[in-house]
């Protein structure tokens, strides 16, 4: 209450001011007490492991990890957080689990974990089975697991809790019906996985219960091409609902975002999706499962455990982790007004609103204006009441002037902030359109620029050159990723240095670059430019004290002959680049339609190759090797063969390269060595003891850290002696990778294992350098053996090889011997051994055993 006495002394007595000051002091004291109560020390560091089933490139996994990390970082704990990815979608096998267990055993052997957070089924199962041995027997909090998966995995385990992945496609079905009153059909797309089938059938049954008059049509067990063809024919009174589709019936796969984007481009009707990260990629919206919410909820449970609760006492959460969200652009595209959707929904990509964009600033200014208005009103009241108090009135005017000055100062600060925001926006744009490592324009920049080029230069040629190094992965594996990044930067600078007018470079990722060549004079000009790029890489790079010779392969696609949009041109240039690599590398290749056929064949081989070992489709043939002088069989070379139910017999040349690119050659090579040793042990047990078995090995096998142990353990388990096994390495591998694999070859040789140099003469090694190589056997390439009796230069080369090999104490073996005059020539030159059709073709195991039993010298047979 304010009491005013209008006396001669114009005195005033104000009681409210004291009350207000006292109240403020009380509030400050209460806040201090609350802060003190909650600011308990968290000095002890907590160790948290986040174990993910899939690779971090999988958006669902990134969303979960982001939700977990954001929630954990908001806590008061001092946290040591480790994030691991099992990459189970790409490597769903026991070998991957074994290697992960070895890696985690080493990594976490001295670390006491306080809690483990897992995402999806594979990580939960792995953590529960191995936590006692690998992870300090820590409590487990799971997410991304449905109820069926939880019941199967968690049964029999304690100290585990989490949040279920509650999939309810019915919510989105209801929202679709509300948003589209005239809806007559819903096409529901799902794959044949267990989760896909259950979610798809649930969506169909929910639709039938809610609106039996709306037809639910299942899109299941189809190829991507069949899906896209169907989508383009869908009627306008329909909608599409993608429940879960990661791979088609041929085993081809693409990300949820890419599939949603491609279907949306082709569709004339709205596309709904089960997962929220497809918003912005063509999905219109709906009630969508959120990986981020899953991660946030799991992290909150983990914090309860870190705060002292037992995981066994925390019930499994069945809270729905969904967002009701829509894309305004898609709503506008299909003419769906906002009043048809749930008013509590999130809407993204809505038109620019000054109030929404600068809401805080507007509210601040509005608040200042309101405060000023109130002050002015109060001052006016006081002025009217205190007309006689001229001094007080003057002071009030001075206070008003000071307030106005503060307002103008605030306006200046807002102008500075606005300029800062413009700078930030420019930096964000720079980051969005440029590669962070090289500073070159990125994929997004390529797509936008190409769209403008195609739009404005419809009748002009435009070439995309897909440039990829031929040996970057090997350099990256041997010199490390840091030096690999330095090489990529230097490659980008070298390519940029040769660009001219109408030529722009982009980095796609890794060692892949795209050069856009607009308006070339002719196709010949594009080819000349590609050759110029190849010549520019003749000069070596110097990285980390090492001199690196890098070659590139280039694929070329021409607009409009090879495609009318960027995606198609890029895909065709990629195919042409792979053909350039397949035909010898360090060259360029222009796309043609035959490449698509070859690509589809390769994809079919790769798909079937991934299951070939589990389906027991591999088998071995054995080709005998003969001592030329006494006609005795000295051993066999094991040769891999593949018979597939769909493809039939697949030649090694068609699948070995693919096996190396996919790293499947590592388990396949181990299988070959094991079965070859078992075959020789069987011959030993039958009395044929003075024989060897030769097995080809790949560079990828040699680069494995456990390669030596694997070979020696396999030989020991088979019951053979190391001296009975010979590993064949091609000359090019040994020369190019010698410094990397030298130590392993020396270890094998010292243990008694024989090393053979295969296809000698085709590579770049010299006879004088053979002394430095840890080898026992030289195998003369068939191309030189074929020259015998034709008078070609190969005969003198064979003479030199045999003579040098004998002087150095090496065994010399001639491959591809098919004629009697060839073997007679080799006998005269005192070559040690021979292998080829003249002696015997490769044969299965039972025939090889018969051959040993009934063997007679083919020279003797010829003579008879």
Residue 11's pLDDT is: 40
Provide the pLDDT for residue 533.
Answer: 96
Q: Say how far apart CA 50 and CA 806 lie, in whole Å.
A: 60
Low-confidence ranges of the chain (pLDDT < 50): 1-14, 16, 32-41, 764, 863-864
The H-assigned helical ranges of 434-508 are 443-456, 472-479, 481-497
Instruction: Compute φ and ψ for 142, nearest 5 degrees.
Output: -110, 160
- Note the pLDDT of residue 554: 96
Q: Residue 7 has what pLDDT?
A: 43
Contact 286, 273 (CB under 8 A): yes
Cβ neighbours of residue 197 under 8 Å, at least 6 residues apart?
190, 191, 220
CA dihedral 665, 669, 671, 672 (to 10 degrees): 130
Contacts (Cβ under 8 Å, ≥6 apart) of 558: 461, 462, 463, 523, 526, 590, 591
Contact 719, 681 (CB under 8 A): yes
Write the pLDDT tens digit of every residue in 289-307. Answer: 888 999 999 999 999 999 9
In the DSSP assignment, the letter for residue 823 is H
Question: How far, in Å, CA of 601 to CA of 322, rounded?
Answer: 41
- Listed in order, strand segments (DSSP E) in 574-691 are 588-590, 618-627, 633-644, 648-650
What per-residue confidence (pLDDT) applies to 622? Answer: 97
CA distance 792 to 783: 11
Question: What is the per-residue pLDDT for 735?
Answer: 64
Q: What is the pLDDT of residue 836?
A: 95
Res 726: pLDDT: 97
567/557 Cα distance (integer angstroms): 11
Instruction: Render pLDDT for 746-766 as a digit per residue (tens, 0 to 9).
Output: 999 999 999 998 877 665 455
pLDDT tens string 766-791 = 555 567 778 999 998 888 888 886 65
Q: What's the pLDDT at 14?
A: 41
What residues does 80 pair with on adjacent strands? Answer: 47
Chain centroid offset of residue 25 CA: 58
416-438 tens-digit pLDDT = 777 787 778 777 877 889 999 99
Nearest Cα neighbor of 123 from 106, 107, 140 is 140
């Amino acid at each position: 209450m304010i009491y005013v006495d209008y006396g001669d002394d114009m005195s005033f007595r104000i009681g409210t001011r004291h009350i207000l000051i006292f109240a403020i002091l009380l509030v400050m004291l209460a806040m201090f007490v609350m802060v003190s109560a909650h600011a308990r020390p968290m000095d002890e560091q907590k160790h948290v492991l986040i174990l993910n089933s899939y690779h971090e490139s999988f958006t669902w996994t990134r969303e979960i990890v982001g939700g977990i990390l954001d929630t954990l970082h908001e806590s008061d704990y001092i946290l040591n957080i480790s994030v691991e990815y099992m990459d189970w979608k790409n490597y769903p096998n026991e070998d991957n689990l074994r290697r992960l267990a070895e890696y985690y055993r080493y990594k976490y052997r001295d670390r006491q974990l306080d809690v483990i957070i897992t995402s999806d089924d594979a990580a939960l199962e792995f953590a529960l089975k191995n936590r006692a041995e690998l992870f300090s027997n820590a409590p487990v909090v799971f997410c991304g697991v449905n109820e069926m998966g939880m019941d199967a995995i968690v049964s029999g385990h304690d100290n585990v809790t989490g949040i279920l992945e509650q999939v309810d496609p019915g919510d989105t079905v209801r929202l679709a019906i509300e948003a589209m009153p005239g809806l007559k059909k819903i096409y529901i797309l799902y794959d044949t996985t267990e989760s896909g089938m259950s979610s798809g059938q649930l969506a169909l049954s929910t639709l039938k219960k809610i609106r039996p008059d709306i037809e639910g049509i299942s899109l299941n067990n189809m190829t991507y091409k069949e899906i896209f063809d169907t989508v383009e024919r869908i009627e306008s009174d329909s909608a599409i609902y993608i429940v879960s589709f990661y791979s088609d019936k041929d085993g081809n796969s693409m990300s949820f975002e890419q599939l949603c984007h491609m279907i949306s481009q082709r569709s004339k009707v709205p596309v709904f999706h089960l997962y929220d990260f497809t918003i912005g990629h063509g999905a219109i919206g709906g009630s969508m499962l959120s990986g981020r919410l899953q991660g946030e909820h799991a992290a909150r449970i983990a914090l309860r455990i870190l705060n002292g609760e037992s995981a066994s006492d925390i019930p499994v959460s069945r809270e729905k982790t969904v967002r009701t969200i829509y894309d305004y652009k898609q709503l506008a595209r299909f003419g769906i007004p906002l009043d048809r959707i749930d008013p509590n929904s999130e809407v993204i990509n809505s038109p620019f609103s000054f109030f929404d964009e600068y809401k805080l600033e507007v509210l601040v200014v509005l608040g200042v204006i309101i405060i000023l208005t109130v002050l002015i009103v109060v001052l006016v009241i006081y002025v009217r009441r205190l007309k006689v108090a001229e001094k007080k009135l003057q002071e009030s005017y001075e206070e008003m002037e000071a307030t106005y000055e503060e307002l103008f100062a605030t306006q200046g600060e807002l102008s500075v902030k606005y300029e800062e925001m413009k700078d930030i926006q420019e930096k964000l744009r720079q980051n969005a359109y440029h590669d962070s490592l090289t500073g070159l324009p990125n994929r997004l920049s390529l797509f936008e620029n190409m769209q403008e080029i195609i739009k404005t230069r419809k009748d002009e040629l435009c070439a995309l050159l897909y440039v990829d190094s031929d040996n970057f992965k090997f350099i990256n594996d041997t010199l490390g990723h840091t030096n690999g990044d330095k090489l990529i930067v230097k490659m980008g600078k070298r390519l940029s240095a040769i660009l001219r007018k109408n030529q722009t470079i982009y980095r796609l990722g890794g060692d892949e670059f795209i050069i856009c060549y607009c308006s070339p004079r002719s196709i010949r000009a594009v080819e000349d430019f590609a050759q110029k790029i190849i010549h520019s890489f003749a000069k070596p790079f110097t990285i980390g004290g090492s001199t690196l010779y890098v070659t590139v392969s280039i694929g070329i696609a021409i607009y409009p002959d090879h495609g009318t949009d960027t995606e198609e041109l890029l895909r065709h240039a990629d195919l042409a680049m792979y053909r350039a690599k397949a035909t010898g590398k360090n060259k360029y290749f222009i796309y043609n339609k035959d490449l698509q056929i070859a690509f589809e064949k390769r994809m079919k081989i790769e798909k079937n190759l991934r299951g070939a070992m589990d389906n027991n489709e591999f088998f071995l043939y054995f080709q005998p090797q003969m001592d030329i002088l006494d006609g005795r069989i000295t051993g066999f070379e094991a040769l891999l063969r593949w018979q597939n139910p769909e493809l039939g017999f697949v030649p090694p040349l068609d699948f070995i390269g693919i096996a190396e690119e996919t790293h499947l050659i590592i388990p396949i090579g181990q299988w070959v060595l094991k079965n070859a040793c078992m075959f020789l042990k069987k011959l030993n047990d039958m009395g044929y003891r003075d024989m060897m078995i030769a097995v080809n090995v790949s560079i990828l096998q040699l680069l494995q850290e456990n390669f030596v142990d694997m070979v020696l353990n396999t030989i020991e388990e088979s019951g053979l002696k190391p001296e009975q096994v010979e590993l064949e390495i091609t000359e090019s591998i040994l020369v190019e990778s010698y410094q990397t694999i030298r130590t392993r070859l020396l270890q094998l040789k010292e243990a008694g294992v024989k090393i053979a140099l295969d296809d000698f003469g085709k590579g770049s090694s010299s006879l004088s350098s053979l002394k430095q190589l840890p080898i026992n056997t030289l195998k003369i390439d068939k191309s030189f053996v074929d020259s015998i009796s034709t008078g070609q230069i190969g005969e003198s080369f064979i003479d030199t090889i045999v003579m040098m090999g004998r002087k150095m104490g090496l065994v010399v073996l001639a491959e591809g011997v098919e004629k009697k005059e060839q073997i007679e020539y080799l006998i005269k030159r005192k070559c040690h051994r021979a292998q080829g059709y003249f002696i015997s073709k490769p044969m299965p195991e039972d025939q090889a055993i018969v051959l040993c039993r009934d063997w007679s010298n083919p020279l003797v047979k010829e003579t008879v």
